[in-house]
């Protein structure tokens, strides 16, 4: 078996173990393989092994990969920063967008989602760390945007996403994830029906699963270190 497939299996096992450790139902956490800066051949190999969900950050890089794999049964998730002149292409080529943090972007995605495709699945990106530099909404701005996005006809608001400040301490890793889970619960009490918490990467998967992640976004632990961006 190739190293790539082996690492996929190891990551899946780590997720199952984390689910069991926190009393979660087996299979309640899905795995998004983050394939940014990785070649088409690696994605094709994982798809042939049965992996289905892939995440990309950069539209220019993602489009040729999506085209090259057009006949392969995979689902594409956009997880990077969104410029408004890129929304049409994102609305046409992805099944999910995890990184919506303003209404104008959501409106464009809804307007531009092709009518022959299912509604685009959306997560709002929230900045739950105290870092000012990270992108994402402030927690106190989430409710207003969530209720507006939920009304857009060609979108389906699924949940919240976060990229917390890095930490190697488990308790510290869990804090922002717990905050995201509380925000989701609060929105659901207000009548929304969010079923997704997109949180956890290679270095903090266990903390995220312990705090209720339903989808973890894993790059390095599957593909190995990324080559530098050119």
Binding site for ligand PLP (CB under 6 A): 34, 36, 57, 79, 163, 201-203, 217-221
Q: How far is the CB of 98 from ligand PLP (least distance, A)?
A: 7
Pair 142, 177: CB distance under 8 Å: no
* Run of H or E residues at 59: helix 59-68
Closest approach of ligand PLP to the CB of residue 104, in Å: 21
Least Å from the CB of residue 205 to ligand PLP = 8
Query: Nearest approach, Cβ of 106 to ligand PLP (angstroms)?
Result: 18
Burial 159-184 (b: 16+ CB within 10 A, else e): bbbbbbeebeeeeebbbbbebbbebb
Closest CB to ligand PLP among residues 7, 156: 7
Do 36 and 219 meet the contact criterion of CB atoms below 8 Å apart? Answer: yes
CA distances from 35 to 163, 188, 212, 223 (A): 17, 31, 24, 8
For ligand PLP, the closer of residues 176 and 219 by Cβ is 219
**Nearest residue to ligand PLP, using CB?**
219
For ligand PLP, give the closer residue by CB, 57 or 121: 57
Helix (H, G, I), strand (E, B) or coil at 124: strand
Residue 160 beta carbon to ligand PLP: minimum distance, rounded to whole angstroms: 13
Q: What burial class does residue 70 get, using C-beta atoms within 10 Å of its C-beta: 0-12 exposed, 13-18 middle, 19+ buried?
A: exposed
Closer Cβ to ligand PLP, 36 or 181, answer by number: 36
Query: Is 135 or 188 the residue whose CB approaches ligand PLP more closely?
Result: 135
């Amino acid at each position: 078996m190739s190293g790539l497939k082996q690492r996929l299996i190891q990551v899946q096992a780590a997720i199952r173990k984390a689910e069991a450790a926190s009393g979660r139902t087996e299979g309640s956490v899905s795995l998004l393989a983050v394939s940014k800066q990785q070649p088409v051949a690696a994605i094709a190999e994982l798809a042939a092994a049965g992996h289905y969900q892939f995440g990309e950050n950069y539209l220019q890089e993602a489009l040729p990969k999506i085209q090259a794999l057009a006949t392969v049964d995979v689902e594409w998730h956009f997880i990077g920063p969104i410029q408004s002149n890129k929304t049409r292409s994102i609305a046409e080529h992805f099944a999910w967008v995890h990184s919506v943090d303003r209404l104008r972007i959501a409106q464009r995605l809804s307007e531009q989602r092709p009518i022959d495709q299912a509604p685009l699945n959306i997560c709002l990106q929230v900045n739950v760390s105290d870092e000012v530099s990270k992108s994402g909404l402030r927690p106190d701005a989430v409710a207003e945007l969530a209720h507006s996005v939920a009304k857009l006809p060609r979108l389906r608001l699924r949940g919240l996403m976060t990229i917390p400040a890095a930490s190697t301490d488990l308790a510290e890793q869990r804090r922002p994830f717990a905050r995201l889970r509380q925000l989701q619960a609060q929105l659901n009490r207000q009548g929304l029906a969010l079923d997704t918490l997109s949180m956890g990467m290679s270095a903090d998967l266990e903390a995220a699963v312990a705090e209720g992640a339903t989808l973890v976004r894993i790059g390095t632990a599957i593909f190995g270190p990324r080559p530098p961006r050119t």
